[in-house]
Amino acid sequence: MVFLNRIERQMGDESPLSAVIKARDGETIAMVRQAIQERRMRLAYQPVVVGVDPSRIAFHEGLMRVIDPMGRVIPAKDFIDAIETDELGRQIDCLALDIGLTTLARFPQVRVSINMSARSVGYPRWMKILRKGLATDKTIAERLILEITESSAMMVPELVIAFMDDLQAQGVSFALDDFGAGNTAFRYFRDFLFDVVKIDGQFIRNIDRDPDNQALTRALMSIGQHFDMLTVAESVETQQEAEWLQAIGIDCMQGYAFGAPTFRPSWVENRKPPPP
């Protein structure tokens, strides 16, 4: 206690915990900045399967990963909060979009969703990458899904709605990510017209034996279905969870029960080698 009090006196109003968090965030930002400079950023792809037939893949979500100098894979959830409001957050969005669009151009049979922040809508470089990618191949727009988290969409709803209207007219689809985890303003919800709604994993875990999660998931599904949105259950990890979701008519499912995010998705594994 004496030690903590001494630190508090030295730091003024900043508590030891705040100092530790700030230092950790600073290290995270430095790590991500170096990874971008050294091009140690990649997308890992996770399948989103059809509810009635999980052997069929509806699309893949591209998830950003950092490869640290030791070769370890660091998922976005471990660094995104520290960089979301920083310039690095926009650079990550640019990289993810560029990699995703390149994948769509190379593999015409693939449909991919890419995560983005509402902050990137007004970021010139991100918009330039998007326009250039869509112009590469007229089929890319209809195979691209842009995922926006609930909390991000609600920061600037009018801007996001206008952006979505413009891109949907070109064939691009939009998914509302982590539905139920944020603070949705339902007065805006009917104006967004998302194509896909992804129910947050906290409501899916143990759903086969958790009455509260069952009730909440049914309610979230009902909202999505009312607005003609494709409903996706996130974080499905067991056969029992999958069977329960199938029984209530979920459209699609995503989670480790169907495949972990991978740098070598099925379309890469099945690609024929070039002729000698």
Give the C-alpha separation, 187 to 192, whole Å.
10
pLDDT tens digits, residue range 81-108? 778 878 888 999 999 999 999 999 999 9
What is the number of other CB atoms lying within 10 angstroms of the CB of residue 84? Answer: 17
What is the phi-psi region of residue 36: left when phi exceeds 0, alpha when psi lies from -120 to 50, beta otherwise? alpha
Candidates 242, 268, 240; CA nearest to 255 is 242
Task: Give every CB contact of residue 245 below 8 A, 6+ residues apart in sequence.
Answer: 51, 204, 207, 217, 233, 236, 253
Residue 185 has pLDDT above 70, yes or no: no
Candidates 166, 160, 175; CA nearest to 122 is 160
3-state secondary structure of 132: helix
Candidates 56, 60, 59; CA nearest to 44 is 60
Give the C-alpha separation, 168 to 172, whole Å.
5
Residue 15 has pLDDT above 80, yes or no: no
For the whole model, what pTM was predicted? Answer: 0.87
pLDDT tens digits, residue range 209-233? 999 999 999 999 999 999 999 999 9
Lowest pLDDT segment from 1-10, 144-153, 154-163: 1-10
Give the C-alpha separation, 200 to 216, whole Å.
11
Question: CA distances (Å), 53 to each of 45, 50, 114, 243, in order?
Answer: 20, 5, 24, 11
Residue 156 has pLDDT above 90, yes or no: no
Give the C-alpha separation, 217 to 245, whole Å.
9
Q: pLDDT above 70 covers what percent of the chain? A: 85
Give the C-alpha separation, 166 to 206, whole Å.
39
Fold for domain 39-264?
A: TIM Barrel (3.20.20)
CA terminus-to-terminus distance, the chain = 71
pLDDT of the residue at 19: 47
pLDDT of the residue at 10: 47
Lowest pLDDT segment from 78-82, 148-152, 162-166, 172-176: 78-82
Query: Domain ranges in the chain?
Result: 39-264
Task: Give every CB contact of residue 97 below 8 A, 6+ residues apart in sequence.
Answer: 114, 116, 126, 129, 130, 133
Residue 276 has pLDDT above 80, yes or no: no
